[in-house]
Structure 1
């Protein structure tokens, strides 16, 4: 469980935790693979959310999926970039959170993802939460938390020093 003072502190920030849908690079299910490839190349992201015609989250697409989608038996079929649709090759199994998901769930999922898609309960795409946004907040936490809260150690087992942790790792 995240501490009662730590959670709210992490949620504070000058910029919002969630990047709103209108500020996210996205593609549509009916876009061509060429369109998706050009977008990914221009924004420099590894993947982007894919939305259907009603702005509901349908999946994500990245360059590996695009290349796999035009790969033949022994060569790439580059002409297919203009004909195949994003919906044919996108990843449908994606990390999704809701706009009211607990911070603990978000942190757990961001361990294995660069970003999380945020939807409402009906699947309408609301935006993304990027790992970068949370890392900025943890950086602020590490530097400022004790300026706002008095922190005193409890009478318990002492926290190991980094050199002790390293020695433990090497002995096992």
Structure 2
């Protein structure tokens, strides 16, 4: 089986641009009830994943930062504490499964690093549950 069978395409995934503000990121997380969201740079390449924890650490470590002030903090300046690795669309299933063991979702990229979508750990577990227990 190819990992593309598990792909939730970019068009169906919430993500943020590296130029978005901290406030915009927080609003996207809230809107979609996510705990983490992929970051895409201006060329469409996967640039990392921003988590709720990253936002909280930024708030804690920035004296005087207010809710309104978050609108002027670019996502690109926020330190990320967890590295969510991406997987190449033509990678082996084993590569994707190794990443999915430690990540809620695995970002999928093409040969140039352009973000194509994600593979959710939940979908992998559901697939294997259906096919192994039958």
Counterpart residue number, 1:64: 53
Q: How does 1:120-159 map to 2 (within 5 A)?
A: 120-144=110-134
CA distance in 2, matches of 1:72, 1:108: 33
Alpha carbons 1:33, 1:85 under 8 Å: kept: yes
Runs of 5+ in structure 1 lacking a partner?
1-7, 145-172
Counterpart residue number, 2:26: 37
CA distance in 1, matches of 2:58, 2:27: 15
Runs of 5+ in structure 2 lacking a partner?
none
Greater relative contact order (Cα 8 A, min sep 6): structure 1 or 2? Answer: 2
Matched, 1:27 2:27: no
The alignment yields a C-alpha RMSD, in angstroms, of 2.1
From 83, 100, 110, the counterpart of 2:72: 83
Q: Does the residue aligned with 2:133 lie in a helix, a strand or coil?
A: helix
User: Larger Cα Rg: Structure 1 or Structure 2?
Assistant: 1
Matched, 1:55 2:55: no
TM-score (norm 2): 0.88
Alpha carbons 1:71, 1:77 under 8 Å: kept: no
CA distance in 1, matches of 2:18, 2:62: 25
| Cα deviations by residue, 1:13-53 (Å, 9 ceiling, x for unpaired) | xxx40101111110001111111001101111110100011
TM-score (norm 1): 0.70
Matched, 1:105 2:95: yes
**Paired residues, number:** 132
